[in-house]
Amino acid sequence: MMTMFMAPMIQTAKVSGATTVLDAIGNTPLLDLSEFAHQRGVSEDVTLYAKAEWCNPGGSVKARAALAIVEEAERTGKLSADKILIDSSSGNTAIAYALIGALKGYRVHLVMPANVSAERKALVKVYGATLIESDPLEGSDGAIRKVRALVAADPDRYFYADQYNNPANWKAHYRTTGPEIWAQTDGQLTHFVAGLGTTGTFMGIGRYLKEQNPDVELVGVQPEDELSVIEGLKHLETAIVPGIYDERLVDRHLPIGPESAWETTRALARQAGLFVGFSSGAAVAAAIQIAKQLDEGIVVTLLPDDGSKYVSLGIFD
């Protein structure tokens, strides 16, 4: 007589504490860079903190805005399975879109200047996105013009995420990054210093901080002129100005030269153990300039990404 054996029924259950990759976006650490600042002439009564945004999935602050843009488009029906998500980027937002597209099953096309680092190009391809290169001499503005032309030629094919003009960009930081900084400093910060690129990070955090305390000074960091290239930042006087940018929110503009940004980036690696990107070096250089003008205070800046995507540029040679 043949005996039948039945496989046991397996009960599946969620493990307490488990999260998805997208759940890991946000709640990044606030690092104390005061010793680094004091070694550069900043008063002992001034504290310098930096938000470690490379801890986000995809390795940059742009994961916050990219996720907000995608989820808002899903809610409004602008993004669906039959659409290709397309946008221009100097790299970090492109990587974030590619990662999110891989997780959610969307096709993603990304326009980036041909001279962005090899690592950035490789990463968007790793996640399965299609890379479209624009004229390297035209920088991020050239990428914007190219993506607009592609969308205009076939508007029904694409969802144009348009990070430079999409309010979901700055709202992501108003809802998350700003409240995090406020809580992590117990509401005691006196200055916030950050670079201006799409300007979404600055606009969102700045609006939230001003609502909590109008006396918090907001300092925007830009390259010192149109010929100074700091990847991720815009010289707004000579570039296509993002639609989400509001000049009235900036209390002070601080121009930074590439040499200062490079030197600070290298110093952060060798003296503070922080392997960060070029725009992070610019932000810290600017924050130290502000901190040197103070007798006391708490200065907070933001480190958009780590240095892994810049190695091929020779920054650490």
Please report, for the domain that includes residue 156, its CATH number: 3.40.50.1100
Instruction: Please tell me whether residues 183 and 293 are part of one structural domain.
Output: yes
222 assigned to some structural domain: yes
**Dist. CA 134–CA 143, nearest whole Å:** 5
Q: Known catalytic residue: 279?
A: yes
Residue 56, SS3 per DSSP: coil
What is the pLDDT at residue 5? 44
Per residue in 40-49, pLDDT tens? 999 999 999 9
- 176 has pLDDT over 90: yes
The burial class, CB within 10 Å (0-12 / 13-18 / 19+), for 308 is middle
Q: Known catalytic residue: 62?
A: yes
Catalytic pick among 62, 121, 171, 309:
62
Instruction: Please tell me whether residues 85 and 29 are part of one structural domain.
Output: no
Q: Out of 160, 181, 215, pick the residue that ends a domain.
A: 160
What is the pLDDT at residue 120? 92
- 229 has pLDDT over 90: no
What letter represents residue 258's amino acid? P
What is the pLDDT at residue 227? 80
- 215 has pLDDT over 70: yes
Residue appearing with tokens 């810049």: 310
Instruction: Please tell me whether residues 135 and 109 are part of one structural domain.
Output: yes
At residue 12 the predicted structure's pLDDT band, cuts being 50, 70 and 90, is low
Instruction: Please tell me whether residues 83 and 182 are part of one structural domain.
Output: no
Q: Out of 160, 193, 211, pick the residue that ends a domain.
A: 160
Catalytic pick among 89, 279, 280, 309:
279
Number of domains composing the chain: 2
Instruction: Please tell me whether residues 304 and 239 are part of one structural domain.
Output: yes
Instruction: Please tell me whether residues 195 and 72 are part of one structural domain.
Output: no
User: pTM of the predicted model, to two decimals?
Assistant: 0.92
11 assigned to some structural domain: no
- 8 has pLDDT over 60: no
For 4-8, 109-113, 212-216, 236-240, which range has the lowest pLDDT when averaged over its residues?
4-8
- 1 has pLDDT over 50: no
What is the pLDDT at residue 302? 98
Per residue in 270-304, pLDDT tens? 999 999 999 999 999 999 999 999 999 999 999 99
Which residues form the domain of 134?
A: 62-160
**Dist. CA 200–CA 147, nearest whole Å:** 19
Sign of CA pseudo-dihedral 147, 151, 153, 158: positive
Instruction: Please tell me whether residues 115 and 132 are part of one structural domain.
Output: yes
Instruction: Please tell me whether residues 48 and 114 are part of one structural domain.
Output: no
5 assigned to some structural domain: no
